[in-house]
Every structure is written in C-alpha cells, then in structure tokens.
Structure 1
Amino acid sequence: MRTGGMILGMAEGVGELELTVGQLAQRSGTSVSALHFYERQRLISSRRTAGNQRRYHRDTLRRVALIRIAQRVGIALVEIRAALETLPEGRVPSRRDWKRMSQGWQDELSERIRLLTHLRDNFADCVGCGCLSISHCALANPDDHMGVVGSGPRVLLPEEETG
C-alpha cells in the first residue's frame, strides 16, 4: 500500500499497517540508530519478519514523538519507560490512555517550570557579573552570608535541593 510517497507493509496475517525502521525514522524525524537505541531501552518494540527485518506498528510514531518531547524537557529515559509501561498492550492507546499517562508528569513538569523560571529570572544576578566568586559578590551575596546557609548555588536552587 502506498501513502504519501511511502510504501507501508501489511503485517503477515494480522491486517494492520506497519512501518519499516527506515519509514519510522523518516516519519518521526528520528535516526535509525536512535530507534534501535529506544528499542534496546524497551521504550518501543517491533516484530521481526521471516527475513529478520523490524516492523513497527503505526502507533509507535506516537510513542517516538512522546519520547523525543519528554527527553527535550529533561525527563529521564527510565521515567519515560515507566510512563509508557502504563499504556495498554495489545491495542492502540486511546486519547484517554495518553491523557492518563501524561497526568503523571503534571506535578513534575510544573515544578520544573517553576525552577526554570526562577533560574531564568535570577541567573544573571547570581553569576552574570562575571566575578565567579560568590564569596566576594557584592550584589547577590555580600559578605558571603549565603556561605553559612550551606554549599551550592543557594540563590538559584531551592533549599531542599542544595542542603
């Protein structure tokens, strides 16, 4: 079957459209080596043809998109795998399945956004002057008052992460 200039194979005896690794790479904008890596990490799966070629179910496109987006915002692969494992096996995940899975990241992403906003708004004040000596910084840390609080970038990170 030909769609959008690509040939999609039919799964043997199943009747579902499948993608080759090259087609999945092209459609997802991901390299073949990255797809192989995702498979080794059990983030996606394929079946093998009689000729030992990989075939991916079309819903793997959504999984790859989710993996790439999650990685881009800093979610660890182990967390991505755990989230993907909550999706149903044996059927294409529904919109409800995807929504339920993504809700598990809501609090973490909100906290990450809060920290990034704090970093964006305060980073220049903390190290932007170029002195690179927090103990001598007259603006953000006069007389090294932050040194008695603990180690690390106290101005930029919340207390629970630095002490």
Structure 2
Amino acid sequence: MGSISKDDVISIGQLSARTGVAVSAIRFYEEKGLLQPIRTSGNQRRFLRSDIRRVSFVLIAQRLGLSLHEIEEQLSLLPQGRTPNPRDWRQISQQMRRSIDKKIELLSLTRAKLDECIGCGCLSLAKCQLYNKADKMGASGATGPRLVLD
C-alpha cells in the first residue's frame, strides 16, 4: 500500500458501518467511479479514512437532488490518496452552487410558465391563445412544450 499506513485505511465493512451505507451500495459507488479502493496483496478492498467523507458527500448530494453523474463530476475534483482539505471542499461547493442556481432558475421559469399556461385553463396546444395562437406551432412542426420551455 505504499506510503499509506494501516491506520489510514479501513475495510469495506468498516466503511459501511461508519456511513450506514450497505456494502453493496459501496461496491456500486466503486463501479461508478465515486470511490477508488486500494487493493491489498490478498486483493481485499481497503478504503482511505477520507472515503467516509466521500460517501457522506454522495449521500448528501443525492438528497439535494444531484444525479450520480453530477456527483461523480464533483468528486473527480477531489484528490486521490489524501484527505480533502477545506480548499478542496470549497471548490466543490462553488461548482455545486452554480449548478443549483441553474436548477433554481429553471424551476422558477417552469413555475411562472405553469401559472401562465395551465392557469389560463385551456390546456390545449392547438387552441392556446397565450402560447400557440392560431396553432402556429403546428404549422412549424415544433411542439408546444419546447416553446414554453425555451
């Protein structure tokens, strides 16, 4: 295990116990590239103690609505082989803030469009006087949702 001491690593069972995440989920996270265990000479998985923070981050980020792909992108910014420092986590926080701000913007727009579109009561793409007067979208082949969301 190179310059990493035995005190710096834990087993998959210990990681599971410390995070409350099932061993099968930890293996899944490994498959997805969210965790990169160290293999012993006997081919057993060993995780850095800092992986407790990585798993905790995954759980929190999922609860906040981030996809596994988004989480993987953020975790790729963290160093492998050392415990992330406050600067590392700040970098991720700033990236996530931008992503969350974009989602908030889209949700706010969606809420406003719903109030306008569904609020009018017609619920008809062919007859809508607000977004599709005289079925102009039908003539262009574009669908109503694209007009509302774009």
Which consecutive residues of structure 2, in runs of 5 or more, have no partner in the other structure? none
Q: Find the residue that maps to 2:107 and give its secondary structure.
A: helix
Pair 1:31-2:22 in alignment: yes
Pair 1:97-2:65 in alignment: no
Partner of 1:4: none
> Which residue, 43, 47, 68 being the options, matches 2:38?
47
Identity of aligned residues (%): 43
The total of aligned residue pairs comes to: 146
TM-score, normalisation: structure 1: 0.65
Measure, in 2, the Cα distance between the counterparts of 1:24 and 1:84: 17
Is the 8 Å Cα contact of residues 132 and 144 (structure 2) preserved in structure 1? no
User: Per-residue deviation at 1:14?
Assistant: 0.9
TM-score, normalisation: structure 2: 0.70
**CA distance 1:129–1:88, shift in 2 (3 Å):** same
Pair 1:109-2:84 in alignment: no
Partner of 2:50: 59
Q: CA RMSD in A?
A: 3.3
Which segment is superposed worse, 86-95 or 140-149?
A: 140-149
> Which residue, 140, 153, 158 being the options, matches 2:145?
153
Relative contact order higher in (CA < 8 Å, ≥ 6 apart)? 2
Which consecutive residues of structure 1, in runs of 5 or more, have no partner in the other structure? 1-12
Measure, in 1, the Cα distance between the counterparts of 2:14 and 2:123: 49
Is the 8 Å Cα contact of residues 146 and 154 (structure 1) preserved in structure 2? no
**CA distance 1:104–1:136, shift in 2 (3 Å):** same
User: Per-residue deviation at 1:64?
Assistant: 1.6
Q: For each residue in 1:138-161, what CA deviation from the matched residue of structure 2 results, as whole angstroms up to 9, or x when unmatched?
A: 67655445656842414652x2xx
Is the 8 Å Cα contact of residues 118 and 156 (structure 1) preserved in structure 2? no
